[in-house]
Amino acid sequence: MMVLRRKAGEAIRIGDDIKIVIQEVQNGRIVRFGIEAPADVAVHRLEIYELIQAENRAASSEDALAWLKGDSDVTGAEQDE
Amino acid sequence: MSQVQSKMSSETEQRTEEFSFPQGIAGFPDATRFGFIYEGRGNMVCMQSIDTPEAAFILTPWEEDRLGEAPTLSQEQRQCLNLAEESALIWMVVLNPFADAEWVTANLKAPLAINMSERLGVQCIRHEPDLDLRFHWMHQPDRV
């Protein structure tokens, strides 16, 4: 993992299109930053994104259409509960 | 995926269009092109990826009577949807029929916003902590 030191007001750029600006460091613990990215780039908090990622995988299945057609014996790719 | 029928937004006409989700779907970043298949089962449709067979979801329209008002789109999401007219916007929730033996659940943390005019969609991940990831939407059909 690349590690950079930046102060409030400074920025980093990822590729040509993504810019992250450090706006504020609160109490030396919480960092506020702004993100500029193209519309087709999704930006989310990691823990929420991973939660949705897991739920999407659990809800998705090649058998989804079979289930919709009324075959209730089909099971999803990931049954995690 | 040439013959797609949709009942979204009370429409029943045959649809052959491809819908694009430019940001992909969380967990399926390569799945950006989908078709909708209606099988005559209530308001539910199957959203099937054209390129990724395992990316297939059961969707149903957002019901304001049960869930309250639909979420508000951010400026970035509106831009991604290229949304010019509100009337073109519909909201769908992703159902999970596989996680619970008794219930089909609905993911209220990440509904889909779809611009029917432009055939563009985005999964809107919501950060409010009180939203259900597995809202009890309906009983499993064989238990009704």
Binary contact (A42, B125; C-beta < 8 A): yes
Residue pair A19/A43 in contact by the 8 Å Cβ criterion: no
Give the dihedral sign, CA B50/A71/B114/B81: negative
Provide the number of structural domains found in chain B.
1
Q: Domain map of chain A by residue range?
A: 11-68
Q: Where does residue A74 fall: left (phi above 0), alpha (psi -120 to 50 degrees), or beta otherwise? A: beta
CATH assignment of the domain containing B123:
2.30.290.10
Question: Binning pLDDT at 50, 70 and 90, where does residue B41 land?
Answer: confident
Mean residue pLDDT across chain A: 87
Range of B31's domain?
A: 4-143
Statement: residue B55 has pLDDT above 90: yes
* pTM beyond 0.90: no
Q: How many CB atoms lie within 10 A of CB B2?
A: 5
Interchain proximity B46–A54, CB inside 8 Å: no
Name every chain B residue with its beta carbon within 8 A of the beta carbon of A78.
Answer: 98
Instruction: With a cut of 80, say whether residue B141 has pLDDT above it.
Output: yes
pLDDT beyond 90 at B70 = yes
Q: Is the pLDDT of residue B10 over 50?
A: no
pLDDT of residue A1: 92
Note the pLDDT tens digit of each residue in A49-70: 999 999 999 999 888 888 888 8
Residue of A17, A47, A67 best to disrupt the B interface, most CBs of B under 10 A: A67
